[in-house]
Amino acid sequence: MATPSVTADGRLRALADGSQMPMLGLGIWQVPNGPEAVRAVRWALELGYRHIDTAQAYGNEESAGQALRESGLPREEVFITTKFYPARKDPAAEAEQSLRRLGVDEVDLYIVHWPKGGPSWAWAGMERARELGYARSIGVSNFDVGELELVMAAASVAPVVDQVQFSPFEHRRALLAACEQSGVALEAYSPLGTGRHVSHEAVARVAERVGRTAAQVLLRWCIQQGVPVIPKSTHRERIEENAQIFDFALSDEDMAQLAALDRTGGTDRALERKWW
């Protein structure tokens, strides 16, 4: 397997199109547009996050944009991902609306949220969004190996990211290997199992051994494999805790013990149960 290219400080991952993606981002799924989302993103930016993950379907792009402006950070210092809502028809037209809501000229990454209606129909529109300068990089989400192959066969510009559910419990080894082989960065969504995995006994044991929290161990397990993570929290102390993952390492044994928690059988699939 090709080794993912991560900077020496472990904070940035090179994408196949030459861009760089911060290994840690704040996810804001299920955070309502408004003060709660603005606060979470403001805190994250204050605490050193430089990557925000939103989506057209989340309805909170305005808040992400507002927090970015209020932070006073230069636009180019923050990596913004949004996702094409595939119930719509035209990825380029929808990207334009996202830019208006976010209040930015381009997003850093624009991905097809899920392969609704098949993996390839939206791709020409994604490429158009990139050509028009609406998105620096384009990719997909919730695509399994077969779906990635189909979109790549149809592509002039290949997807550089596949954002999927990934954690020790959802260790999609075959999907990860196929992504690395074809120059696609697998990005982990729900790295804490939407909160469920932080209370697992086996994770707690590793956490105790290394003197870290369960959330930090789950996140470190991903980034130590070159997999970027986008944990969600609306609590300042947890947002801070989730960022303290660059100053310790898990041993090979810890990594293997966590990997043994996999419930997917090392699958090449993106999800066990599709919601579309």
Ligand X SMILES: NC(=O)c1ccc[n+]([C@@H]2O[C@H](COP(=O)([O-])OP(=O)(O)OC[C@H]3O[C@@H](n4cnc5c(N)ncnc54)[C@H](OP(=O)(O)O)[C@@H]3O)[C@@H](O)[C@H]2O)c1
Residue 86 or 226 having the CB closest to ligand X: 86
Helix (H, G, I), strand (E, B) or coil at 205: helix
Burial of 36 (0-12, 13-18, 19+ CB in 10 A): middle
Helix (H, G, I), strand (E, B) or coil at 145: helix
Q: Are 29 and 194 in contact (CB under 8 A)?
A: no
Give the tokens for residue 25. Answer: 């981002």
Binding string, residues 247-266; x marks residues near ligand X by CB under 6 A? --------------------
Beta bridge partners of 170: 167
Site for ligand X in 74-133 (CB under 6 A): 113
The residues, any chain, with a CB within 8 Å of residue 225's CB and separated by 6 or more, are: 4, 176, 255
Among 60, 137, 163, 225, binds ligand X (CB under 6 A): 163
Residue 125 or 231 having the CB closest to ligand X: 231
Site for ligand X in 185-204 (CB under 6 A): 189-195, 198
Residue 113 or 130 having the CB closest to ligand X: 113
User: Does residue 227 belong to the site contacting ligand X (CB under 6 A)?
Assistant: no
Are β-strands 20-22 and 12-14 bridged in parallel, bridged antiparallel, or unpaired?
A: antiparallel
User: Does residue 42 belong to the site contacting ligand X (CB under 6 A)?
Assistant: no
User: Does residue 223 belong to the site contacting ligand X (CB under 6 A)?
Assistant: no
Q: How far apart are CA 168 and CA 155, in angstroms?
A: 31
The active-site residue, picked from 49, 58, 110, 189, is: 58
User: Does residue 32 belong to the site contacting ligand X (CB under 6 A)?
Assistant: no
Output the CA torsion sign for 230, 236, 238, 244: positive
Whether residue 134 lies in the annotated active site: no
Segment interacting with ligand X, rule: CB under 6 A, options 16-24, 228-236, 246-254, 257-265: 228-236
Binding string, residues 48-67; x marks residues near ligand X by CB under 6 A? -----x--------------
Which residues are designated catalytic? Answer: 58
